[in-house]
Amino acid sequence: MNLKVISYYCDVDDSKYYEKSYHRLKEQLDKYGYDYHIEKLDSLGSYKENCRRKIDFIIEKFHQFDENILWLDVDTNLLNPMTQLEYINNDEDLDVDILFASGVPELIGIKASPIWFKNNKQSLDFLLQWKTAIDTSREQEHENFDHEVLFQAVADTTGYCKFGLLGYEYCTWPGTVTDETVIEMGLSDVESKKDSLRKMGFDESKIEWQSVGLNNE
């Protein structure tokens, strides 16, 4: 299959949440026979910056590998084979450059994982646009992660890149898993993440809802 799954992990505290997640994801990818490249990186000191480095990592691997790229957050819980994505990945005539997962049938609900990239110029141009948006956000000291900036990058894309959506089963929230779920999204419980969410104006109940940790240790 012309597909490389990529990710990285780095823990900002002593919880080892992401290291544990890595071992789980590695086992799941092996189980379903996917080719992958996952790196352990040094922490940049905060959950926010560890998230923001995602775009640089994807661009680096985009140049390193010839295959189409599937980014998965390392705390992805892969519960079933990615059959729909495999079909799309293997259809060379399909006119789409990037696939997102969304909880609603439109781009406003997209997540920053999973994201599938056809290894072409259009996808690379979008990645560079996303990187510019993240760099600008950092320079302006905005308190956000990678996915808020992703929304704006998608909105600013004017025709050169064609987007598509995966099924709902690729972005299932913890607690709503069914037999059809392919990906249960990870929601880490690290304190650095909670601190950033507080600075973004989230109340404590919302923060706890977004910080469930690993559910199958």
Instruction: Give residue-wise pLDDT tens across range 180-190.
Output: 999 998 877 77
Look at residue 15 in the predicted model and tell me its pLDDT: 79
Using alpha carbons, list the distances in angstroms from residue 88 to 73, 75, 83, 94, 182.
Answer: 20, 24, 9, 7, 15
| Global pTM value | 0.91
- pLDDT for 31: 98
Q: Which residue has the tokens 């560890």?
A: 50
Mean pLDDT of 201-214: 60
In the predicted structure, residue 120 carries a pLDDT above the cut 50: yes
Answer yes or no: are the C-beta atoms of 97 and 161 closer than 8 Å. Answer: yes
Q: According to the model, what pLDDT value does residue 79 have?
A: 97
Residues 156-175 have pLDDT tens digits of 887 889 999 999 999 998 88
pLDDT mean over 48-52: 87
Question: Domain extents for the chain?
Answer: 3-209
Q: Is the pLDDT of residue 100 over 70?
A: yes
Report which of residues 203 and 133 the model is more confident about: 133
Position 84 pLDDT exceeds 80: yes
Average predicted confidence (pLDDT) for the chain: 87
CA distances to 9, 128, 208, 211 from 38, in Å: 8, 21, 28, 23
State yes or no: cis peptide before 114, omega within 30 of 0.
yes
What is the pLDDT, as a whole number, of residue 57? 97
* CATH entry, 3-209, from 3.40.50.1100, 3.90.550.10, 3.30.450.90, 1.10.357.20: 3.90.550.10
When mean pLDDT is compared across 72-76, 94-98, 158-162, 191-195, the lowest value belongs to: 191-195
Q: In the chain, which ranges are E strands?
A: 3-9, 36-40, 68-71, 77-78, 98-102, 110-117, 163-165, 183-184
